[in-house]
Amino acid sequence: MGTKIEDILKTKIWLSSPHMGGNEQNYVKEAFDTNWVAPLGPNVTGFEQDLEKFLNEDVHIAALSSGTAALHLGLILLGVKAGDEVICQSFTFSASANPIVYLGATPVFIDSEIETWNMCPVALEDAIKDRISKGKTPKAIIPVHLYGMPYKADEIRSIANKYNIPILEDSAEALGSHYKGKMCGTFGDIAALSFNGNKIITTSGGGALVSHSKEIKEKAVFLATQARDNAPHYQHSEIGYNYRLSNISAGIGRGQMEVLQKHINLRREMHDFYKSIFKDNDAITVFQEPNSDYFSNHWLSCITINSDKLGKSREEIRLELEKENIESRPLWKPMHLQPIFKDYPYYGGKISETLFETGLCLPSGSNLNNDDKNRIKEVFQRFF
Ligand SMILES: *Cc1c(COP(=O)(O)O)cnc(C)c1O
C-alpha cells in the first residue's frame, strides 16, 4: 500500500507533464489502419499544415524528431561550419548550445536582461563588436524565448541586421507566445519548436524547423532524410541525418493541436493562480510580462525569492515542496557556468547568474486541478 507506482504517479504534482486532448489516439489508429507506420505520411503533412496555420504567417514547417534536431539543421542551413563562432543566450537549456558544438563551431554566450530574462541587446552588441575586432564575425545568433517569454525581438533583430548576422530563434518553449501580435517562431531567419514530453504540447518527442522559404523547408527535409540525391539507387553528395518525425508521433501532434489554445489558456490560469497566492508577499516575485507588447504562454510559472525577506532560501522552499511530493526546479543554470561550456567566451554581467541563484519554477501543467492547486498553496501558506 502506498508504494505502488500507480499511487506515486497519482499523487505527484509535476512541473509540466503530458496532457492529452482525446483525439490523439484516433490519428494514431488511422496511421495503423492505413499502415503509415513510417517517418512520413498524412499525419506528418497534416501536423505541419496545422502548425503553419497556427503561426499565422507565411511560414514553411518541417516536422522533425526533436527541437534539438531543428536547431542542429538550422545551424547547418545558415552555413555554420567548424571553426565558426555562434552567439547564444547563456540563460537557457543546454540543447540551445549543444548543436553549435556538434558542428565544431564555438559558442559565444550572452547574459540576459532583467525584463524578459532573455538575451540582453546591449551585451549582444558588445559581443559582436568585440568578436569582429578579434577578426571573426559571428555566423548566427541564437536568442531564446525562455519559459515562453518573448525576447526583445525588435532590438535583437535590428542589431542582427546592422551586422548582417542571421537569427536562429529558439522557440522550443514558446509555442503560442507572441510579441506585438506576431507569433514566436516567426521572428528568426529560421526557428525551432519542440514537442518534447514536458512542453506545452507534445508528440512524446518531436520538434519542427520553421522557415520563411519553401526552399529552406525542402532542404531541411532533404537533410533530415539522409540527404539522398534524386537517383534510383542510394546516392549521396552531402552528409545526411535521420531527423524526420514519425507519422505515429505526428498523429499525437495533430490531436494536440486541437487543444493547444486551451492549454495556453490553462497555463496562463496557473500563472494567475501564483500571482494571486503571492500578491501580498513582497519577498516573492512572480515573473511576468514587462508590458502589453508581450504575451507569454507561461509554459512554466517562475518566481524569484528574496530569501532575506522571506527567511527561507530557494532550496528550503524546493525541499518543502518535495516533501509534499510537489516538483519544483531551480531556473536554468546559465551555460557560461556549466562545466562543459565554462571556457567559452561570455559577455555580460551577473543577471542570469542571480536569476539562477534566486529563482524557482513551479508546477505549471495545463492538467493541474483544484486539489493540486490547494496542495501547492498550503505549502506556501506555511511560510507567510
Ligand atoms: C526543450 C528545449 C529544446 C530542445 O528540444 P527537444 O525537443 O527536447 O530536443 C531546446 N531549447 C529549449 C530552450 C528547450 O526548452
Q: Is the CB of 144 under 6 A from ligand 1?
A: yes
| Test site for ligand 1: of 173, 252, 331, most ligand atoms within 8 A of the Cβ | 173
Q: Does 93 contact ligand 1 (Cβ within 6 A)?
A: yes
User: CA-to-CA distance for 138 and 320, rounded, in angstroms?
Assistant: 45
In short, whether 170's Cβ falls inside 6 Å of ligand 1 is: yes
| pLDDT value, residue 113 | 98
Mean residue pLDDT across the chain? 96
Cβ–ligand 1 distance for 194 under 6 Å, the answer yes
Residue 366 has pLDDT above 60, yes or no: yes
Closest CA to 84 of 100, 73, 68, 71: 100
pLDDT score of 1: 46
The answer to whether 199 is a known catalytic residue is yes
| Rounded Cα distance, 102 and 64, in Å | 17
Q: Which atom of ligand 1 is nearest to the CA of 95?
A: 10
Give yes or no for residue 158 having a pLDDT over 50: yes
**CB-ligand 1 contact for 96 (6 Å cutoff):** yes
Nearest ligand 1 atom to the CA of 194 is: 7
pLDDT, tens digit, for every residue of 188-208? 999 999 999 999 999 999 999
Atom of ligand 1 nearest to the CA of 198: 1
Average pLDDT score over residue span 40-58: 95
pLDDT of residue 382: 87
User: For residue 57, what pLDDT is reported?
Assistant: 83
pLDDT for 379 beyond 50: yes
| Alpha carbon of 362 to ligand 1 centroid (Å) | 18
Residue 252 has pLDDT above 50, yes or no: yes
Average pLDDT for residues 302-327, to the nearest whole number?
A: 95
Instruction: Please give the pLDDT value at position 172.
Output: 98
Pick from 2, 115, 12: nearest CA to 363: 12
pLDDT > 70 fraction of the chain, expressed in percent and rounded: 97
pLDDT at 29: 95
CATH superfamily of 261-383: Aspartate Aminotransferase, domain 1 (3.90.1150.10)
Q: How far apart are CA 71 and CA 357, in angstroms?
A: 28
The three cell numbers locating residue 158 = 535590428
Which H, E and C letters describe the chain, residue by residue? Answer: CCCCHHHHHHHCECCCCCCCCCCHHHHHHHHHHCCCCCCCCHHHHHHHHHHHHHHCCCCEEEEECCHHHHHHHHHHHCCCCCCCEEEEECCCCHHHCHHHHHCCCEEEEECECCCCCCECHHHHHHHHHHHHHCCCCCCEEECECHHHCCCCHHHHHHHHHHCCCCEEEECCCCCCCEECCEECCCCCCEEEEECCCCCCCCCCCCEEEEECCHHHHHHHHHHHECCCCCCCCCCCCCCCCECECCHHHHHHHHHHHCCHHHHHHHHHHHHHHHHHHCCCCCCEEECCCCCCCEECCCCCEEEEECHHHHCCCHHHHHHHHHHCCECCEECCCCHHHCCCCCCCCEECCCHHHHHHHHEEEECCCCCCCHHHHHHHHHHHHCCC
48 has pLDDT over 90: yes
Q: Best of 170, 171, 335 to mutate for ligand 1, by most ligand atoms within 8 A of CB?
A: 170
What local confidence, expressed as pLDDT, does residue 384 receive?
76
> Which residues neighbour 92 within 8 Å (Cβ) at sequence distance 6 or greater?
144, 146, 170, 332, 334, 335
- The predicted-structure confidence for 2-47, as pLDDT tens digits, reads as follows 456 655 555 899 999 999 999 999 999 999 999 999 888 999 999 9
Q: In the predicted model, is pLDDT for residue 148 greater than 80?
A: yes
Q: What per-residue confidence (pLDDT) applies to 5?
A: 61
CB 70 less than 6 A from any atom of ligand 1: no
What residues does each domain of the chain span?
Answer: 24-259, 261-383
Looking at domain 24-259, its CATH architecture is 3-Layer(aba) Sandwich (3.40)
Atom of ligand 1 nearest to the CA of 68: 9
Ligand 1 close to Cβ of residue 92 (< 6 A): yes
For the ranges 7-16, 151-160, 216-225, which has the lowest average pLDDT?
7-16
What is the pLDDT, as a whole number, of residue 284?
96
Beta carbon of 207 within 6 Å of any ligand 1 atom:
yes
* Residue of 199, 217, 219, 333 marked catalytic: 199
